[in-house]
Structure 1
Amino acid sequence: MPVTFNHTIIASIDRHESARFYREILELSEAPSWGPFVNVRLDAGVLLQFAEPPVDIQMQHYAFLLDDEAFDRAYQRLVDRGIDHWADPQMQRAGETNTEHGGRGVYFKDPAGHGLEIITRPYV
């Protein structure tokens, strides 16, 4: 069997709020949840598992590859909801998207402060 990515746990202040944020912005599906996890499903069955750890949350970065139409819809949701976003990871170009790597991209933060990125073309 080839190596494939199966799941990751994303630390959250409020696991339900974080899961809802990812589902709504990225048009993701709910998945059965259990124990301390609220789960969201990506393609190929990959799970994002949101949990509230008993420790300080360290910021992580998660990037998602979307097709152009899904990017347009996600970006419009960011704008409509007044979510701060930037064209660059240094957060210098506020309210913009970028055209790096032959596609489009934008950076923003989730409710727990994790750095998110949506792109339309992979970097490699």
Structure 2
Amino acid sequence: MTIELNHTIVHATDKKASAQFLADLLGLEVGDQYGPFIPVTIPNGVTLDFYEGDGQPFVPQHYAFLVSEDEFDTIFGRIEERGLSYWADPYHRRPGEINTNDGGRGVYWEDPDGHNLEIITRPYGAGDE
């Protein structure tokens, strides 16, 4: 059986600004609007479709991206250059730090709508291998 995540919808108050925010930090491109969605395609083919919806409140979500060590340095540099707050943990209890979980590095920050974004260099549980 072959099952792959194809896309997910990311609720936003300003879909263009939110899509551009993520694309800029990750070094990706914002795609052309398709219906009510503005896509950002991740290199593994998964698309994050930014959507404003009907203006109803939404619950911020968590989006984690597995990156190489070099990509981590580049993305983290962009986070620092923009003066964004970041944390070593998903609960934001360790501000201004990165983590070294599972023998890699990870960091969390928020997008303009409060979605908890994360980059990691090792998948969770990889330190157990």
In structure 2, C-alpha distance between the alignment counterparts of 1:107 and 1:99, rounded to whole Å: 12
The aligned counterpart of 1:56 is 57
Aligned residue pair count: 124
The aligned counterpart of 2:18 is 18
The aligned counterpart of 1:30 is 30
1:7-51 CA-to-partner distances (Å, cap 9, x unmatched) read 000000100011001111111233232111111111232111001
SS at match of 2:34: coil
Give the drift of 1:101: 1.1
In structure 2, C-alpha distance between the alignment counterparts of 1:45 and 1:64, rounded to whole Å: 13
After superposition, the CA RMSD in angstroms is 1.1
Mean Cα deviation higher: 15-24 or 35-44: 35-44
Contact 1:29 1:42 in 2 (8 A): no
Q: Which consecutive residues of structure 2, in runs of 5 or more, have no partner in the other structure?
A: none
Residue 90 of structure 2 is aligned to residue 75 of structure 1: no
- Large movers: runs of 4+ above 6 Å: none
| Aligned-partner residue type, residue 19 of structure 2 | A
TM-score when scaled to structure 1?
0.95
| Aligned-partner residue type, residue 92 of structure 1 | R
1:67-108 CA-to-partner distances (Å, cap 9, x unmatched) read 011110111111111101001112121111010111000011
Q: Which consecutive residues of structure 1, in runs of 5 or more, have no partner in the other structure?
A: none
| Aligned-partner residue type, residue 36 of structure 2 | P
In structure 2, C-alpha distance between the alignment counterparts of 1:35 and 1:98, rounded to whole Å: 39
In structure 2, C-alpha distance between the alignment counterparts of 1:53 and 1:115, rounded to whole Å: 19
Residue 117 of structure 2 is aligned to residue 116 of structure 1: yes
Greater strand share, structure number: 1
